[in-house]
Amino acid sequence: MSVRRRAAVAALGLSLLVGGCTAREPAPDTAGVRAAVDRRAAEVLAGELADVPLGAWSYRVTEVRRDGDDRATARAELSYRIAGYDNGAVTGERALRLARRDGRWYVTSDRPAKGAAQQLWEQGDIDVVRGKRSLVLGVGQDAARLRSVAAAADRAVPAVSDAWPERWAGRVVVLVPGSLTAMGALLGEPAAGYRGIAAVTTGRVGGGQDAPADRVVVNPEAYAVLGEFGQRFVLAHETTHVATRTHTSAATPLWLSEGFADWVAYRGTGRSAEQAAPELRDGVRAGATPAVLPTDGDFSFAADAAGLARAYEGGWLACELIADRWGEAKLRAFYRAAGARGWEAALGDVLATTPEAFTDQWRGYLRERLG
């Protein structure tokens, strides 16, 4: 693996055009603006992000507004792919400022549209580490840290493929911003909500092989305080989300999607239930076995740390129960069916049980493994 530094993308910090429409406003020259936007895309592909192996970069203009004869703002959807890693494109809404000189339009500013997330290159110089099965893009990080992240991701990919032998990309792109605040900007969310969260995976659930590409986004502050096992666990967990994305839908409960990702990450590590589920262990031993499976609300990052830990532990042990009692193949089949038809129906179709019976078995399993 090697780290190469590229030149910083020029900071184009112009404000968005705010101009009231009047009867005297010139009609938009959409053809000229689109031509300028297409040239902007070609320039980026030709080397503006030199060390990032771009396979495609394009804009779809959705709105053009004029401000006088020689200025305009275009709203556009950016789509780009990293060659060798992305089946589908990463997308983002952009606001492009344009000026006309000598009768020709030029893009002078390319920024996130209002409410849209930043892209990594807008946060500073990008360092690139190419792993065997991963690509790590970092800003404000030293080479050793990025190589360590790539090594953990490279170990995660085959471990995930062994636990989930379905068709998926078999590689992962990891973004390592310079701070928690920068992580929040990449996600388009308040950074405080991710404090203590070592990494998250972006992407759209469901869809086919050409669905928008996933990105694993690392919180450099929380990730740095983890030991080697914790860092490997986090990358395996997040890589599982990448691998299972096309079989995950709005019908998939979080206890299953997060529990399955933990099940893959713990698989083969030799960690006992007592070690992996200390919050639930203490509750069970105190006679407070949960009455129901974790709800989606239990996985809120705004929840208290102990409650969030119990939710993840409960989801993991539910997947452990299925793998233990029905087998790993049935667990995978249940995951696919839950995404397609909902978990309650999947329990009957795949495991020949009911939500009530499964919950009773899960509660007994908690007492068996943690009591």
User: What does the pLDDT look like over 58-82, one tens digit per residue?
Assistant: 999 999 999 888 999 999 999 999 9
Give me the pLDDT at residue 25, please. 53
CA 152 vs. chain centroid, Å, equals 17
* pLDDT band, very low/low/confident/very high, at 208 (cuts 50, 70, 90): low
Whether 130 has a pLDDT exceeding 50, the answer reads: yes
- At residue 89's C-alpha, the angle toward residues 217 and 157, to 5°, is 50
**CA-to-CA distance for 36 and 41, rounded, in angstroms?**
9
**Of the ranges 17-31, 300-314, 341-355, which one carries the lowest mean pLDDT score?**
17-31
Residue 10 has pLDDT above 80, yes or no: no
Q: What value does the mean pLDDT take over residues 242-263?
A: 96
DSSP for 213-251 reads: PPEEEE-HHHHHTS-HHHHHHHHHHHHHHHHHGGG--TT
**What pLDDT is attached to residue 5?**
31
To the nearest whole number, what is the mean pLDDT of the chain? 90
Q: pLDDT tens digits for 157-202? A: 999 999 999 999 999 999 999 999 999 999 999 999 899 899 999 9
Burial class (CB in 10 A: 0-12, 13-18, 19+), 339: buried
Identify which has the larger pLDDT, 369 or 208: 369
In this predicted structure, which of 1-10, 107-116, 309-318, 350-359 has the lowest mean pLDDT?
1-10
Q: What is the mean pLDDT of residues 314-341?
A: 98
Rounded to an integer, the average pLDDT of 215-220 is: 97
Please tell me the predicted confidence (pLDDT) of residue 20. Answer: 36
For the chain, percent of residues with pLDDT exceeding 70: 91
- Residue range 265-321, pLDDT digits in tens: 999 999 999 999 999 999 999 999 999 999 999 998 777 889 999 999 999 999 999
Taking each helix axis from N to C end, the angle separating 143-163 and 228-244, rounded to the nearest 10 degrees, works out to 50
CB under 8 Å to 233, separation ≥6 — which residues?
Answer: 265, 266, 269
pLDDT of residue 75: 97
- Enumerate the domain spans of the chain: 7-116, 120-247, 249-371
Give mean pLDDT, residues 111-136: 96
> Is CATH 2.60.120.650 correct for 120-247?
no
Q: Of 5-19, 299-313, 339-353, which gets the smallest average pLDDT?
A: 5-19
pLDDT band at 15 (very low <50, low <70, confident <90, very high): very low
Nearest to 238 by CA among 120, 319, 138, 134: 134
Predicted local confidence at residue 205, as pLDDT: 75
CA distances from 142 to 127, 129, 186, 187, 244 (A): 9, 11, 20, 22, 31
| CATH of region 7-116 | 3.10.450
**pLDDT band per the 50, 70, 90 thresholds, residue 204:** confident
